[in-house]
Amino acid sequence: MDPSAILHIDLAAIAENWRLLAARAAPGAVAGVVKANAYGLGADRVAPALHAAGCRHFFVAHLAEGIVLRETLGPGPMIAVLNGFAPGADGDAALVPVLNSLGDVHSHAAAGRSAGQARRALLHLDTGMARLGLDAAEQARLAADHSLLAGLDLLYVMTHLACADEPEHPLNAEQAARFARACAVLPKFKRSFANSSGLFLGSDYASDLSRPGCALYGINPTPGAPNPMRQVLRLEAPVLQIRDIPAGASVGYGASFVAARPSRIATIAVGYADGYLRSLSGQGGAAYRGLILPMVGRVSMDLITLDVTDAPGLVPGDTVTLIGGAAPSPDDLAARAGTIGYEILTSFGARYRRAYGAG
């Protein structure tokens, strides 16, 4: 028996999520954010599926991700690198840097002027994250001297929302106003604004290019409301062993679980080394033929244990579902672990066998 868990990834559902978001953003375009290996689901498979659905703009975090993605997609689609890169690092200029400081603007513009060919780029204005992007002082200097942009072919001016998943947060409207003011004193460039949750904030957050990430992968962009996105994954694993224990027996490290009745305990080859977070100890579970099997004991590096006393037909080799379907969704599991669905997805380990398909 192969003990490996299988991560089933529905590429058709990811494509359908992109279409749903594209319909919300129309007439603006919608990119696919495929950084961190498409949020752990495999950029080499996800990005071509998005491209086939009509996506022509992609975002990654690091230059190395962009180089691999260009090899996957070939020429044509825009691939922007959010963390930027040094001038000339892209070689044939097949990738587009995001300029995150006035220093980035100076160096890339100078490279373009020196080469006699404007360098494609995106300009990032910080409007409230205090992370990457030109700060207010740098924005003022740029507004006062547009010649600093000579040598650049700016495809978009962008900013990033800090609180889009909290619709009532006042910073959302303030960022929209700051972005509008900053863009008004620059040459007229196309704008890129909303992330996944931002697409659900209304017309004040519309732009020429939206940049959804998590919603493509089924994470709810409207926390507290029904999830409008299709679920895209299911994690299944076979039972390695079932052990009968008496009442009073403990299970796992720290003896954190003590059976209150004679119990059947199933062991599954999934652990925190696979991204099944240790904080899910005693919080996770699995689905099997309509039954929910509670997880007992601590999550260890390679194994978890389930109480299968109420599933007498379950035997070693049978498959249980840990995420998706009747089991918790990534968002549900994240809530139990005290984190967010993003971390659940991006923690999936390399030991999972990945199976791609539809449905």
Q: Which residues are part of the catalytic machinery?
A: 35, 253
How far, rounded to the nearest angstrom, does the alpha carbon of residue 184 sit from its chain's CA centroid?
Answer: 31
Listed in order, strand segments (DSSP E) in 219-344 are: 233-245, 250-251, 257-258, 263-268, 285-288, 291-296, 304-307, 319-323
Q: How far apart are the first and last CA of the chain?
A: 25
By CB neighbour count within 10 A (0-12 exposed, 13-18 middle, 19+ buried), where does 172 fall?
buried
Rg (CA), the chain: 24
Which residue spans within 84-190 are E strands per DSSP?
96-99, 119-124, 152-158
111 close to 86: Cβ distance less than 8 angstroms: no
* Residue 17, helix vs strand vs coil: helix
- The three-state secondary structure class of 320 is strand
Instruction: Give the relative orientation of helices 63-73 and 43-53 as an angle to the nearest 10 degrees.
Output: 60
* Closest alpha carbon to 263 in 320, 314, 307: 307
Rounded distance, CA 218 to CA 204, Å? 24
**What does the chain come to in residues?**
359
